[in-house]
């Protein structure tokens, strides 16, 4: 009954790409089969497509689609690009699998120029079905201990995270939700449109608004966060 293909918000990604303006270089973090990159190519056929991906099968598929693949670990390796060299970066259904969000956002913010765009899609911890699950004492579906997900996100939490670490650094240009459990697509599509903060997945289009100076790496140190986050520095 549930159409899980809606979880990836491909119609929203396409809409965001069209509204992002001109771009020539695109990076997809955790690109998988390359579906989002193909949408970027559809909007701008001249775009140069880059992917960060480690899974051998996906690496092969991406290479066949003329995508330049960089097989690195996004949680510890620097992105192999100069500062400000990517016009648009996509991370769709990836960050929930990661611990090192400070490092990842550091590299994203370093690689984007002022005026560049970041498209982010994550499962919504505050989705309608997750609120029901919590109300009856059940674990929310996006962050079960025996799953691959290690982080949960809500719209407000992501916006607070960005503003706390990099004040004024990003402007939210568009926000939307996709899919609405436990309903079929006929109901899920309009429900997610009307109530995006209750949708299964939440999707953001951010524009970088000012120069970046390693603020995401400074934040855990300044706040004395008692977790051994990777910060690309000795002792971190």
Task: Using alpha carbons, list the distances in angstroms from residue 44 to 22, 70, 118.
Answer: 8, 21, 16
Q: Are 37 and 26 in contact (CB under 8 A)?
A: yes
Intervals of the chain under pLDDT 70: 233-236
C-alpha to C-alpha distance for 214 and 204, rounded to whole angstroms: 22
Residue boundaries of the structural domains of the chain: 4-213
CA distance 140 to 135: 10
pLDDT digits (tens, 9 = 90+) for 144-198: 999 999 999 999 999 999 999 999 999 999 999 999 999 999 999 999 999 999 9
Q: What's the whole-model pTM score?
A: 0.96
Nearest to 121 by CA among 158, 147, 168, 148: 158
Q: What is the fold, at CATH topology level, of the domain defined by 4-213?
A: Rossmann fold (3.40.50)
């Amino acid at each position: 009954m549930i159409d899980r293909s809606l979880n990836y918000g491909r119609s929203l990604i396409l809409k965001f790409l069209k509204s992002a303006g001109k771009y020539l270089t695109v990076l997809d973090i955790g690109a998988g089969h390359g579906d989002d990159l193909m949408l970027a190519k559809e909007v701008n056929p001249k775009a140069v497509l880059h992917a960060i991906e480690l899974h051998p099968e996906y690496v092969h598929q991406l290479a066949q689609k003329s995508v330049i693949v960089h097989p690195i670990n996004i949680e510890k390796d620097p992105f192999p690009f100069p500062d400000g060299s990517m016009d648009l970066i996509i991370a769709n259904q990836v960050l929930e699998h990661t611990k090192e969000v400070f490092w990842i956002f550091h590299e994203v913010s370093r690689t984007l120029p002022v005026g560049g765009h970041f498209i982010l899609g994550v499962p919504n911890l505050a989705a309608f079905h997750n609120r029901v699950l919590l109300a009856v004492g059940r674990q929310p579906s996006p962050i079960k201990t025996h799953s691959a997900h290690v982080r949960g996100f809500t719209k407000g939490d992501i916006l607070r995270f960005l503003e706390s670490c990099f004040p004024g650094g990003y402007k939210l240009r568009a926000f939307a939700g996709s899919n609405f459990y436990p309903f079929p697509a006929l109901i899920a599509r309009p429900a997610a449109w009307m109530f995006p903060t209750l949708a299964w997945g939440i999707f953001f289009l951010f524009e970088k608004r000012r120069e970046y100076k390693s603020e995401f790496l400074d934040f855990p140190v300044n706040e004395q966060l008692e977790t051994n986050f990777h910060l690309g520095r000795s002792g971190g």
